[in-house]
């Protein structure tokens, strides 16, 4: 971790500028605007204007490396990701290990000691564990991998005749970026989660799981982590929305229930609408006994708030068979945890509201 009191040296300014040109600009506009607003820097409308204003603020000393790092920890790698959620069994949750950061640090193997509270401004070529920390009652493991974000640049397109044939070249600007993976364990809440910014393709998630288990093995007995019952949450949350219990900030967009190799699906196709709007669909839905089905896929719209308190709809997708949650928009860490806690409330019926 960077100490906020570190002198704003030339080296730090260079590091801050590098961060702005890479990771910072890769974050969502609403979050960049929040950083600019928080530091009382002129905001602008487009990414190019954000970049100019951020760089000017770094040069003038209004924005320091520590500010950027602190902000990145809140927003980078939160939301727009897949999440695997677990419940801690009592034995793990009550482990005296969690009594202090020092006891956690002492329990780390020697090979991981150098990662304790490490600065994670690196861009490793492959997924690498870049930091371990324990603060605010949360154990965190963070992995990073260099990414190249491709930005379409029309002006660089060209069409050439090569050996008598016409070829079209589409141009993309490569912007250095990085993907984040986290494992976070919160003993007091008896929750743990793996947060992955990795597409669910091939066996990518299985590999990532193995990486997390191997790295955390010295501290975590994975037998003490119980799986999140995603299938039940799909059914119970939809039922709660139908019964108007969760309608204040959640709407149901799609639900697929399976009975062995058969399924029934309820969905709303418009951008803003939800299932419960239609009396005819509700009537069919009410005829279904959820206990006879498994929740296969559920898509819910969560009513969040932007930093300026404007409404922001976030799509949450739950995959029952994989026990996986996908959040389709970038969020701040606390918003992601609010959503996860909401979901855990619906693992049982009636829900813990």
Partner 1 sequence: MASQNINWSAFTKKYPDKLVAALRGHIARGPFRITAHRLAIEANVADASATDLLRELVQNGFLKSDKKLICPCERMESLTAEQAAEDVCAFCGRAFEIDVPARPVELIEFVHAAKQTRDVRWLLALHGMNTQGAWQETFNWLVSRTYRRSVPVAIYKYGVVRPGAIVKFRQRALVRELTGRIRRLSGQSEETGFGGTPDVIAHSLGTWLLGHALVEDATLRVGRVILLGCILRPDFDWELLLRRKQVESVLCHVATSDFWAGIAHYFIPDSGPSGRSGFNDRNNVGHVALVGKHHSDFFKEAEMPTLFERVWQPFLTQAAGESMPASNVLPVRSWRQTWWPLRATVMRWLLLAAIGGFVLVILLGLSLGLADLWRLI
Q: Which residues bind partner 1 (CB under 8 A)?
A: 45, 150-152, 154, 157, 170, 239, 243, 270-273, 276-280, 282-284, 286-287, 289-291
Of 150 and 200, which CB lies nearer to partner 1 in the complex structure?
150
CA 191 – CA 228 distance, rounded (Å): 10
Residue 107 Cβ vs partner 1, minimum distance, rounded to whole Å: 44
Residue 293 Cα distances to 102, 231, 318, 326, angstroms: 47, 9, 16, 22
Residue 273 Cβ vs partner 1, minimum distance, rounded to whole Å: 5
Of 85 and 250, which CB lies nearer to partner 1 in the complex structure?
250
All residues at 6 or more sequence positions from 48 whose CB lies less than 8 Å from its CB, including other chains: none
Of 217 and 286, which CB lies nearer to partner 1 in the complex structure?
286
Exposed, middle or buried: residue 28 (CB in 10 Å: 0-12, 13-18, 19+)?
A: middle
Residue 243 Cβ vs partner 1, minimum distance, rounded to whole Å: 6
All residues at 6 or more sequence positions from 244 whose CB lies less than 8 Å from its CB, including other chains: none
Q: Are 29 and 35 in contact (CB under 8 A)?
A: no
CA 76 – CA 69 distance, rounded (Å): 10
CA angle 138, 139, 143 (to 5 degrees): 125
Of 160 and 279, which CB lies nearer to partner 1 in the complex structure?
279
CA 17 – CA 350 distance, rounded (Å): 51
Helix ranges, 192-327 (H): 204-216, 230-242, 279-286
Of 7 and 45, which CB lies nearer to partner 1 in the complex structure?
45
Residue 43 Cβ vs partner 1, minimum distance, rounded to whole Å: 14
Residue 189 Cβ vs partner 1, minimum distance, rounded to whole Å: 29
Exposed, middle or buried: residue 24 (CB in 10 Å: 0-12, 13-18, 19+)?
A: buried
Residue 313 Cβ vs partner 1, minimum distance, rounded to whole Å: 11
Residue 152 Cβ vs partner 1, minimum distance, rounded to whole Å: 4
DSSP state of 5: T
All residues at 6 or more sequence positions from 298 whose CB lies less than 8 Å from its CB, including other chains: 233, 234, 235, 237, 238, 252, 254, 255, 256, 317, 318, 320
Of 290 and 304, which CB lies nearer to partner 1 in the complex structure?
290
Of 37 and 152, which CB lies nearer to partner 1 in the complex structure?
152
Residue 154 Cβ vs partner 1, minimum distance, rounded to whole Å: 5
Of 123 and 328, which CB lies nearer to partner 1 in the complex structure?
328
């Amino acid at each position: 971790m960077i100490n906020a009191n570190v002198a704003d040296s030339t080296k730090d300014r260079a590091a801050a500028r590098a961060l702005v040109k890479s990771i910072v600009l890769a974050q969502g506009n609403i979050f960049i605007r929040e950083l600019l607003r928080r530091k009382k820097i002129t905001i602008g409308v487009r990414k190019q204007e954000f970049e100019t204003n951020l760089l000017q603020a770094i040069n003038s000393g209004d924005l320091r490396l520590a500010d950027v790092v602190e902000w990145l920890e809140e927003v980078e790698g939160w939301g727009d990701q897949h999440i695997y959620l677990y419940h801690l069994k009592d034995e793990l949750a009550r482990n005296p290990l969690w009594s202090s950061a020092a006891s956690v640090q002492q329990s780390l193997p020697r090979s991981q000691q150098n990662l304790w509270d490490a600065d994670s401004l690196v861009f490793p070529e492959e997924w690498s564990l870049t930091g371990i920390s324990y603060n605010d009652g949360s154990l965190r493991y963070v992995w990073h991998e260099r990414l190249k974000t491709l930005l379409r640049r029309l002006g660089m397109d060209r069409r050439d005749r090569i050996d008598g044939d016409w070829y079209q070249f589409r141009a993309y600007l490569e912007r250095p970026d990085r993907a984040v993976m986290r494992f976070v364990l919160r003993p007091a809440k008896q929750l743990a989660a793996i947060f992955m910014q990795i597409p669910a393709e091939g066996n990518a998630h299985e590999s990532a799981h193995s990486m997390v288990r191997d790295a955390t093995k010295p501290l975590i007995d994975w037998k003490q982590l119980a799986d999140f019952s995603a299938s039940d949450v799909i059914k119970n949350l939809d039922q709660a929305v139908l019964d108007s219990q969760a309608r204040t900030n959640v709407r149901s967009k799609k639900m697929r229930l399976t009975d062995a190799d058969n399924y029934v699906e309820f969905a709303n196709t418009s951008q803003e609408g939800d299932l419960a709007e239609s009396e005819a669909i509700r009537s069919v839905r009410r005829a279904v006994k959820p206990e006879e089905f498994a929740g296969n896929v559920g898509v819910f719209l969560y009513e969040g708030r932007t930093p300026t308190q404007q409404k922001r709809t976030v799509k949450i997708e739950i995959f029952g068979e994989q026990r996986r949650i996908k959040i389709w928009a970038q969020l701040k860490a606390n918003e992601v945890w609010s959503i996860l806690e909401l979901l855990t409330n619906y693992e049982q019926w009636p829900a813990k509201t």
